[in-house]
A and B are shown apart, each in its own frame.
Chain A
Amino acid sequence: MPELEIVKLTKSFGGKKILDEVSLSVEKGDIFGVLGLSGAGKSTLVRCINGLEIPDGGSIYYQGELLCDNKTRISSAKRRKIAMIFQQFNLLEQRNVLGNVELALEIAKVKDKKIRREKALSCLRRVGLEEKAEAYPSSLSGGQKQRVAIARALALEPEVILSDEATSALDPETTQSILSLLKELNRDLGITIIMISHQLGVIESVCNKVAILDQAKLVESGDLSDVFLSPKTDIARSLIYADHVTTDLNEHHFIRLLFDGNTDEPIIANIVQDCSILVSIVYASTKVIDGKVYGQTVIKRPKDLKEREKLKKYLKLHNVEFEEVKSNGLE
């Protein structure tokens, strides 16, 4: 049974479709990334999960039970199990750090002040900010603010955390520390995380699954390594290889070699040595996902037909996945 199942979710604002029959399913323990350009509908998707938006059609199931649809509102009890963190942190400026975390407990009607305080402090300890308990948000850095927001989310012992561009307002270093904190919470507490981002790097560094949204529609989804290794749609390709576009090579044909984490041979060097073909590399990128090396290398296709066949045979023989692409196939 999936932890969260979204079925044909539809939502429009002022006649414009923001979500168009989006379906996806998130398993317990997933860190599920939702990637897309701004305006693709990512935020609306998570906001529907938490009841901040009411869908026009479709439904969302949580642990097998209906969470919400266009008639059923999400219950307060379930909302507390699905916490949310935001790009702008959304802390109360007039409450100190401890008070901000306690707010969640007050809302859940935890009456005992001492219990609230203890719980809030333990959550702050968890995010490494116990010593800032008495400080006010205005004196904190962005990263610290997001940690407080995470502590606040943790206060109600959620099963799911929705992260709506939670690191987009942070510098790269702070982003990494927040991401590793989230990853830690996922690992240690088994919290399922749905992570909205327009930043490829964010999704890539923590998620095990990914869905790509484009113009209100879900265009691809699956294991991160599958989607990132061989994106099928143009939009996915452009998102994943966005920063690697080279336009001056459009006249040529290319071959893209895909590495799926199984080979530890120096394939390119071997091609040069074994086939005596002088390979010219146009672009190469490898990524470490779950400890395995994935990636791609784009090389120029040999002009000589014999060489070309020889190369293909060699790649097949060594189980290297490849595809021929016109231009460099990256844009």
Chain B
Amino acid sequence: MDWNEFGIAVAETAGMTLISAALAYLVGLPLGILLYNTGKKGLRPNRVINLILGTIVNVLRSIPCLILIIVLIPLTRGVFGRATGDWYTMIIPLFFASFAYVARVVETSLNEVDQGVVEAAKSMGASSLQIILKVLLKEARPSLLLGVALSTISILGYTAFAYDFGAGGLIAKAYSVYHSSPMNYLSKPDIWVILLLIVAVVQVIQELGLFLAKRTDKRRIAK
């Protein structure tokens, strides 16, 4: 067993997952805020804009990730000069596959914020921007943090497709173990190490999200 190889695989998976997640939030967070605010409960309800954004999000979410990667090959090639073979070539398709999902997750978190608090801020003469920054995002923070964990884990799942494009990562490594000995791959220790590593990574992300959400949630802490 080459531990160095495992290390590289973990790094590749982490790299494509975290960078894609960060980019997905860069776009998905504002998009989610926009979705919420143009919706019925939002600060500036606007059926047309909401419908357009909602349609884009729904269409993107309904395209299977693998197809999205194929469709986006020209774009990836344009940006990196190549579309396959390295972990970072996955960033663009993973980003496209996930920002719409992130937008919905963010929208759902914002929907949970008590309308009364928003009204109170309005009654104080708060601007929409003030309400978003000081009320909505603040009140939704624990739920938003849980959403980050959820989204990141779902992106981690998408990294499986990296195998098809030679982009590496842990899941691709599992495939390669299978291909190298399809008859008895389950007796190879490598496959179990990979399994354990993936479970561990998912658990770490999940628990970190939960921990941060609980840590920052002031609803249950009595001082």
Which A positions have Cβ atoms within 8 angstroms of B? 50-52, 75-80, 83-84, 86, 88-96, 103-104, 106-108, 134-136, 138-139, 149, 152, 156
Q: Which 10 interchain pairs have the tightest Cβ spacing?
A: A76-B125, A79-B125, A139-B222, A90-B120, A90-B116, A84-B123, A136-B218, A107-B126, A138-B219, A107-B124
Q: Which residues on the A side are within 8 Å of B220 (C-beta)? A: 138
Alpha-carbon gap, A106 to B126, bound state (A): 9
Q: Is the CB of B124 within 8 A of A92?
A: no
Cα–Cα, bound, A194→B117 (Å):
21
Interface bracket on B: 20 to 34
Q: Does B139 lie within 8 Å of A108, measured CB to CB?
A: no
- Of A50, A84, A95, A108, the residue contacting B218 (CB under 8 A) is A95
- In the complex with contacts A95-B218, A106-B134, A135-B223 CB distance below 8 A: yes
Q: Does B217 contact A (CB under 8 A)?
A: yes
Residue B83 is within 8 A (CB to CB) of chain A in the complex: no
Least Cβ distance of B103 to chain A in Å? 22
How many cross-chain pairs have Cβ atoms below 8 Å apart between A and B?
A: 90
Query: Which residue in chain A gives the minimum CB-CB distance to B130?
Result: A107
- 28 of the cross-chain contacts (CB-CB < 8 Å) are A51-B122, A51-B123, A52-B123, A79-B124, A83-B123, A84-B120, A84-B123, A86-B120, A88-B116, A89-B116, A92-B138, A93-B117, A93-B219, A94-B138, A94-B141, A94-B216, A94-B219, A95-B218, A96-B218, A107-B125, A107-B130, A108-B124, A138-B219, A138-B220, A139-B222, A149-B120, A152-B124, A156-B124
CB distance from A206 to the nearest CB of B (A): 21
* Bound form: Cα–Cα A139–B223 in Å: 7
- Chain A nearest CB: distance from B208 CB in Å? 20
Closest to B127 in A: A76
* Residue among B114, B121, B130, B222 making CB contact with A136, cutoff 8 Å: B222
A117 to B216, CA, bound (A): 22
Residue of A nearest to B116 (CB): A90
Bound form: Cα–Cα A106–B220 in Å:
25
Nearest to B118 among chain A residues (CB) is A90
A92 near B116 (CB under 8 angstroms)? no
Of B116, B123, B130, B141, which is within 8 A of A79 by CB? Answer: B123
B207 at the interface (CB under 8 A from A): no
The answer to whether B119 has its CB under 8 Å from any CB of chain A is yes
Seen from chain B, the residues whose Cβ lies within 8 Å of a Cβ on chain A are 114, 116-117, 119-127, 130, 134-135, 138-139, 141-142, 216-223
- Residues on the B chain within 8 Å of A88, using CB: 114, 116
Distance of A2 Cα from B218 Cα, bound (Å): 43
Residues of A within 8 A of B125 (CB): 75-80, 107-108
Distance of A84 Cα from B142 Cα, bound (Å): 28
Contact between B223 and A134 (Cβ–Cβ < 8 Å)? yes
Name the residue on A nearest B119 (C-beta): A52
Contact of B218 with A138 in the complex, beta carbons under 8 Å? yes
Bound complex: CA of A50 vs CA of B120, how far in Å? Answer: 10
Question: Most B CB atoms within 10 A — which of A52, A80, A90, A149?
Answer: A90
Contacts of B217 in A (CB 8 A): 94
**A103 contacts B121, C-beta separation under 8 Å:** yes
Whole-angstrom distance between the Cβ of A144 and the nearest chain B Cβ:
12
Give the contacting residue for A95; candidates B124, B127, B138; CB below 8 A: B138
Q: From residue A101, how far is it (CB to closest CB) to chain B in Å? A: 11
